[in-house]
Amino acid sequence: MKKAILVEYNFLTRIVIDEKEENVEKIVEKSKQKILDKVHNELAENLCEWNDDEEIPHFNNNNLASDFSEIKNFEPPVTISKSYNPNLYMPFVIYIGSKLYFYASQKDHDEDFERLKTIVPKFYFIN
């Protein structure tokens, strides 16, 4: 199962500037190449931490991912159900209220349904 994470890096570099040039534009200009070199050559050394993305978790269905901010704020009762219709091009469906999300893959469909159960447990789920 996939998930979304937020990754934090911390880059530090030394530059020399004229005291009269101490402004954002000049600092960015002078440090840019050094930071880019660190990104390309020392990325792992500058990794601080990573955490699950609680705001926008990973979903296999891009439409569901786009709509999630709205969905998580729905007021209960909300019913989430899933179905299969072999006559459809994308036969696996998740229903969230009046919204429908279609899947070609049962694996992706089932993963998203289970992820929803853990993220929005206040809703009513029908298997």
Which amino acid, residue 91?
A: P
Please tell me the distance from the alpha carbon of residue 115 to that of residue 103, in angstroms, as a whole number.
15
Please tell me the distance from the alpha carbon of residue 53 to that of residue 103, in angstroms, as a whole number.
23
pLDDT, tens digit (0-9, with 9 covering 90-100), for 78-124: 999 999 999 999 999 999 988 999 999 999 999 999 989 988 889 99
Q: For the beta carbon of residue 119, count every other beta carbon within 10 angstroms.
A: 15
3-state DSSP percent of the chain in helix, strand and coil, to 5 = 40, 25, 40
Total number of residues shown for the chain: 127
pTM of the model: 0.61
The structural domains of the chain, with segments of one domain joined by +, span: 5-52, 62-126
pLDDT, tens digit (0-9, with 9 covering 90-100), for 44-75: 999 998 887 766 678 889 899 888 888 888 88
Terminus-to-terminus CA distance in the chain, angstroms?
19
Among the listed residues 2, 19, 8, 123, the one whose alpha carbon sits nearest the alpha carbon of residue 61: 2
